[in-house]
Amino acid sequence: MVLALASPQGQGQWSSDPALNLSLADSAGDQVQAKLVARADGGAYVSWFDGGAGGYDLRLQRIDVDGFEAWPHGGLLVADRGFSSTQDYGLSIDASGAALLSFRDDRAGGVQISASRVSPAGTLLWGTGVQLTNTSSFVGAPKITGTDDGQCVVAWTQDSSTAIQRLASDGTPQWSVATVLTPVSGAYLASDLHGASNSALLSVVHQTGSQFWAPKHLKAFKLDSGGGIQWGPVAVFDGDSLQFGSFPTFVPDGVGGGLFAWYGTGPLECYAQHIRADGSEAFPHNGVSGSTDTARVRVDPSISYDADNDRTYLFWTEQNAAQTTFGLRGQLFDASGNRQWAAAGSELLPLAAAEVRSVRASADSAGVMVVWTQIPAWGQDRMYGARVDGAGAFSVGPFDVSSTPSGKSRLQATRGGHGQLMLAWSDDRTGADDILAQAIQADGSLGQATGIGQEFCSSTPNSSGQAAVMAASGSTGVAADDLVLEVSGIPNQMGIFFYGTARQNGGAGVPFGNGLLCVGGQIFRLLPPYLGSSQAASRALDIAHPPQASGQVTAGSTWHFQAWYRDPLAGGASFDLSDGLTVVFTP
């Protein structure tokens, strides 16, 4: 019997045409400040401000892995506000898969901070929201994050301090009073917030004096579940100064720490730092610059982390000293912050007249996907993407992501199902700002994924004359438990499927037998062995009965699969392997 490979899914909403990106919000008035957070089912929540009804209202949409909108077009109204301008706000997800939002709220008079929780079905679980403040003080820039125990943490700027409160799943405050962080001098301004198990990792911009032009530093805290300070302030950056108006975000490392990127003003230079879960600095103090070239300047960095290999990628806009020409460069750091590419970084786009802006990077074990805009003239922005390999060179692209010339701003990026990169941004191609979105597959193609999982590593021809290739059919749903592993292009010999927690050698594999061992970390064999027939074989994964308890597949987990097989006719080691397949599982 010859196995069929995984069949394409039904046509979804993601566009394969870079001139026709998916529109999520296009009503009258401006739709601005999109935010994007991934869901365990491979889709995402997208939020934005809708300026078409007398104030910038907060709206939310849920999209599935194929780009289908779960709720009516234009999203759910979360908060009907009267503001004529906007500030930053927060979007996150909790342990149950509900969306979490924090925002400035003027519905009850004055300006307060509120939070909302929205179920995957679109129910406003806290009604009109939970008001966290009752003050005449200045409040702004609220952040929110879920914690592993199903609760959430909210942080916001209040006058010269940052305040933090914890909410239960029903919206009840968990601390009798908010935790307030106040510096000895100057102000702590909330910058970013992420969960770390049942704790929260917070970054603040420390304006070191009372005047807005005072030097600005970046500091981090970790708060425990009771509101106490577990550690901090840790000076992520206390060198010269951050740019005025810059509030750097950070990327969680998955084990309680975070990856930070920023640019300083004296000189204009981009830096990276990894703060470990215990508050220690993995890189030298004040971070490591992406480049040692003092003849140029660098701004607007984007940081991304390959957790499997403890490697950090940094990409930025490169400029000449006069800031009249623009390019794109990147750097790779090892676990200690040592530069792995050229001292001046890897040049991906040479300096040219067109501005390079909105650089975003998202790493996996095989490399990193980078997206950016180029602006040859005002309002003529085009968006591009490319895959960069471990050596710092383009391995796929550059290719068009959004080719219609228009103003594009506030680009957001997150990883979704099938290893795809999901994007959302404001776009004024219709004459007003709309919220557009796009999915980029691991191979650089646009639109909907055509199969289950993401292939990685490689395989070479065996005695059958073909190279063994992994695929899967069924679904990634844990509850359905119907995933079938498939391998084709094998000799009709005995073999086994196996899976593991990581990719070997950054996804490139290591020599083993006549081929490459692609899967690493803790490895689990799926027994009994199969016997190849018609140069193919298959096996149901059987999620309900893992080989070991530590090999249990759960919703949201990522596993890497491969097939080993005997090949005596090929000589050599008399065995070989397929390529690898990475699968992200959904509920």
Where residue 524 sits, what CATH number does that domain have? 2.60.40.10
Write the pLDDT tens digit of every residue in 314-350: 999 999 999 999 999 999 999 999 999 999 999 999 9
Where among 226, 246, 266 does a domain terminate?
246
Given a contact cutoff of 8 angstroms between Cβ atoms, the answer to whether 322 and 271 are in contact is: no
In a domain, 491, yes or no: yes
In whole angstroms, give the CA distance from residue 347 to residue 357: 15
**383-10-361 Cα angle (round to 5):** 30
Distances (CA, A) of 59 to 117, 123, 132, 472: 12, 13, 20, 37
Number of domains observed in the structure of the chain: 2
In a domain, 128, yes or no: yes
Distances (CA, A) of 8 to 63, 110, 472, 483, 558: 19, 52, 11, 15, 21
Is this prediction's pTM over 0.75?
yes
Question: Could you tell me the residue range of the domain that residue 547 belongs to?
Answer: 454-584
Predicted confidence at residue 418, as pLDDT, reads 67
In whole angstroms, give the CA distance from residue 497 to residue 164: 48
Q: How many Cβ atoms from other residues are within 10 Å of residue 568's Cβ?
A: 12
In a domain, 302, yes or no: no
Given a contact cutoff of 8 angstroms between Cβ atoms, the answer to whether 542 and 481 are in contact is: yes
* Beta-carbon-side half-sphere exposure of residue 35 (alpha carbons within 13 Å): 22
Predicted confidence at residue 52, as pLDDT, reads 87
Instruction: Characterize the bridge pairing of strands 152-158 and 161-167.
Output: antiparallel
- Measure the N-to-C terminal CA separation of the chain; round to a whole number of Å: 31
List phi, psi (to 5°) of 569: -70, -20
- Closest listed residue to residue 319, CA positions, set 347, 361, 343: 347
Given a contact cutoff of 8 angstroms between Cβ atoms, the answer to whether 288 and 339 are in contact is: yes
Q: What is the pLDDT along the chain (587 residues), one digit of tens a residue?
A: 222 223 233 334 899 999 999 999 999 899 999 999 998 777 899 999 999 888 999 999 999 888 989 999 999 999 999 999 999 999 999 998 999 999 999 999 899 999 999 999 999 999 999 999 999 999 999 999 999 999 999 999 999 999 999 999 999 999 999 999 999 999 999 999 999 999 999 999 999 998 888 999 999 999 999 999 999 999 999 999 999 999 999 999 989 999 999 999 989 999 999 999 999 999 999 999 999 999 999 999 999 999 888 999 999 999 999 999 999 999 999 999 999 999 999 999 999 999 999 999 998 766 899 999 999 999 999 999 999 998 999 989 999 999 999 999 999 999 886 678 999 999 999 999 999 999 998 888 898 776 788 788 888 889 988 889 898 888 888 999 989 999 988 998 999 999 999 999 877 889 999 999 999 999 999 999 988 877 788 899 999 999 999 999 998 888 999 999 999 999 999 999 999 998 888 87
In a domain, 295, yes or no: no
Find all residues with CB under 8 Å of 172, minimum gap 6, and list them: none
CA dihedral 51, 54, 60, 66 (to 10 degrees): -50
Distances (CA, A) of 541 to 263, 480, 552: 47, 11, 11
Q: 335-373 as b/e, with b when 16 or more CB fall inside 10 Å?
A: eebebebeebbbbbbebeebbbbbbbbbbbbbbbbbbbb
Where among 246, 274, 307 does a domain terminate?
246
In a domain, 353, yes or no: no
Tell me the DSSP string of 169-229.
Answer: TTS-BSSSS-EEE--SSSEEEEEEEEEETTEEEEEEEEE-SSSTTS-EEEEEEEE-TTS-E
Given a contact cutoff of 8 angstroms between Cβ atoms, the answer to whether 246 and 260 are in contact is: no
- Closest listed residue to residue 472, CA positions, set 534, 556, 559, 539: 539
- Closest listed residue to residue 311, CA positions, set 289, 333, 330: 333
Please count the helices (runs of H) and the strands (runs of E) in the chain: 0, 43
In a domain, 570, yes or no: yes
Burial of 554 (0-12, 13-18, 19+ CB in 10 A): exposed
Predicted confidence at residue 365, as pLDDT, reads 66
In whole angstroms, give the CA distance from residue 418 to residue 413: 15
Where among 246, 264, 297 does a domain terminate?
246
In a domain, 518, yes or no: yes
Give the single-character DSSP code of 136.
S
Where residue 203 sits, what CATH number does that domain have? 2.120.10.10
Sheet holding 346-352, edge to edge: 296-306, 311-320, 326-333, 346-352
Give the single-character DSSP code of 8.
P
In whole angstroms, give the CA distance from residue 356 to residue 375: 7
In a domain, 416, yes or no: no
Predicted confidence at residue 450, as pLDDT, reads 67
